Amino acid sequence: MRSLKVIGACGAAGASALAYLAYRKDLEAARKRIRTDRQFIDSPHGSIEFAEAGDGPAVLFVHGAGGGFDQGLGLGAAFLGDGYRIIAPSRFGYLGTALPADASPRAQADAHLRLLDALQLESVAVIGLSAGGPSAMQLALQHPERCTALVLIVPMAWAPERMARGDARLSPMFLPVLNAVASSDFLFWTAMKMARPTLVKTLLGTPVPMYRNATSEERRGVDQVLRTILPISKRSAGIWNDGNVASTLTRCPLEDMRVPTLVISAADDLYDTYESGLHTAEQIRDARFIGFSTGGHLLLGHEVEVRSEITTFVQEHLGARSAPSESFMSARSS
């Protein structure tokens, strides 16, 4: 009996060692990814990190919670396909971008503007995904001449009904899960391996049945989104700032918006962006709202349609092609 216990203990130790080696391998791959092809510009808010890829009309892709420039490039390619120059900044507190004292959407929009100036881009289409929505809207409101089109995908946005309800539709496990994994790369990696459905529901805002019934290609896409959150320790400051922004959202003067706007959401989005997205579209003159009954926060099952709608909208409102303007600074490689 004692020998069996010893064998069992050795087996458990061996499995733990193998798991830790796998974790270290995945973490190093993630760290290598976020060190590759990034650039920086200086700003009054501190360094702003970004990356770009592709050729064609320029699109500023503003990532969501848990993201960074790597998420921006990956999801930008998924939502746009080929034929675009995707510019993907890391928002405040994400990866190599500093978290300033003023990390409000208005201040973040100023940082977006500074990046456009650094890249000598006179005008771009702007896509705000999820928690990237508030600063994308502020950029379009404050500097409409720099935005040919605004696309808001499952946006974090103010709406009277949602603010009155608070986080009622979020899973009660959201905060406990976030508290557990947001600052620990190992715990997040373990959750990806052992409790992926929990992360899909609580962090990605997508009903678990949608994930389980999705095609293998769609599930791989979801898994890739989770993988790009690693290392989460380099994103935790931004995640918590997004939480602060979400809890203090106020009404924007959307009736003053002069940028053509497209808003997309799904009714079963566990972050409850459908009502707020619809309300946002209703406040903006001539805005278009596309709502799906299912799909969750990741719009599962609608990738082809969503890409078609976005690219058609962006092309329709290109106007003057992105062109050089006077630059206030230049980008520098890391």
pLDDT digits (tens, 9 = 90+) for 133-168: 999 999 999 999 999 999 999 999 999 876 556 554
Domain assignment of residue 165, yes or no? yes
What domain count does the chain have?
1
Q: Does 253 fall in a domain?
A: yes
49 lies in some domain: yes
Query: What's the confidence (pLDDT) of residue 283?
Result: 97
pLDDT of residue 326: 38
> Is 328 part of a structural domain of the chain?
no
Residue 182 confidence (pLDDT): 80
Predicted local distance difference test score (pLDDT) of residue 333: 44
Q: Is there a domain that residue 24 lies in?
A: no
Q: Find the CATH number of the domain harbouring 197.
A: 3.40.50.1820
3-state secondary structure the chain: CHHHHHHHHHHHHHHHHHHHHHHHHHHHHHHHHHHCCCEEECCCCCCEEEEEECCCCEEEEECCCCCCHHHHHHHHHHHHCCCCEEEEECCCCCCCCCCCCCCCHHHHHHHHHHHHHHCCCCCEEEEEEHHHHHHHHHHHHHCHHHEEEEEEECCCCCCHHHHHHCCCCCCCCHHHHHHHHCCCHHHHHHHHHHCHHHHHHHCCCCCHHHHHCCCHHHHHHHHHHHHCCCCHHHCHHHHHHHHHHHHCCCCCCHHHCCCCEEEEEECCCCCCHHHHHHHHHHHCCCCEEEEECCCHHHCCCCHHHHHHHHHHHHHHCCCCCCCCCCCCCCCEEC
pLDDT tens-place values along the chain, 334 residues long: 555 344 444 444 445 667 889 999 999 999 999 998 899 999 888 899 999 999 999 999 999 999 999 999 999 999 999 999 999 999 999 999 999 999 999 999 999 999 999 999 999 999 999 999 999 999 999 999 999 999 999 999 999 876 556 554 555 556 677 777 787 999 999 999 999 999 999 999 999 999 999 999 999 999 999 999 999 999 999 999 998 999 899 999 999 999 999 999 999 999 999 999 999 999 999 999 999 999 999 999 999 999 999 999 999 998 644 443 333 334 444 4
Per the domain annotation, does 214 fall within a domain? Answer: yes
Q: What is the pLDDT of residue 4?
A: 39
Predicted pLDDT at 327:
35
Does 15 fall in a domain? no
Domain extent at residue 125: 38-320
